[in-house]
């Protein structure tokens, strides 16, 4: 296999470096956003955007968890209603007439 030249050869190294950086700095959202603004390096930006997505996902999970802790009963009852409300498409009357 041919060795990649120029920028392509640097990509894996850059990626590792960026990952190490991301791990080292306790990257808050604001910091990541600022870093993304000043960066032009594609490998690092990709990693940072992924990190942002992960942080967003974690934040949403936390919010959901808080809501569930505050109102587990409401959540449960809503789920039961949802489970029950799956109606058949055809009514019983139609089904009876189709069988005859």
Please indicate, yes or no, if residue 92 is contained in any of the structural domains.
Answer: no
What SS3 state is found at 97?
A: helix
**Number of domains observed in the structure of the chain:** 1
As a whole number of Å, the end-to-end CA separation of the chain is 72
Please indicate, yes or no, if residue 90 is contained in any of the structural domains.
Answer: no
Provide the residue range defining the domain that includes 71.
8-85
Which of 59, 34, 32 has the alpha carbon at shortest distance from 48? 32
pLDDT digits (tens, 9 = 90+) for 20-49: 666 665 566 677 777 777 776 667 777 778
pLDDT confidence band for 1 (50 / 70 / 90): very low
Please indicate, yes or no, if residue 3 is contained in any of the structural domains.
Answer: no
What's the distance, CA 52 to chain centroid?
Answer: 10
**C-alpha–C-alpha distance, residues 48 and 71, integer Å:** 35
Tokens 């997505």 belong to 53
Please indicate, yes or no, if residue 41 is contained in any of the structural domains.
Answer: yes
Please indicate, yes or no, if residue 94 is contained in any of the structural domains.
Answer: no
Please indicate, yes or no, if residue 2 is contained in any of the structural domains.
Answer: no
Please indicate, yes or no, if residue 74 is contained in any of the structural domains.
Answer: yes
Compare 52 and 86 and report the one with higher pLDDT.
Answer: 52
């Amino acid at each position: 296999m041919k060795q990649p030249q120029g920028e392509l050869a640097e990509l894996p190294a850059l990626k590792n470096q960026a990952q190490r950086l991301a791990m080292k700095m306790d990257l808050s959202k604001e910091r990541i956003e600022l870093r993304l603004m000043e960066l032009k390096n594609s490998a690092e930006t990709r990693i940072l955007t992924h990190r942002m997505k992960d942080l967003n996902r974690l934040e949403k999970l936390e919010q959901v968890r808080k809501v569930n802790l505050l109102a587990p009963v409401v959540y449960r009852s809503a789920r039961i209603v949802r489970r029950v409300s799956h109606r058949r498409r055809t009514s019983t009357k139609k089904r009876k007439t189709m069988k005859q």
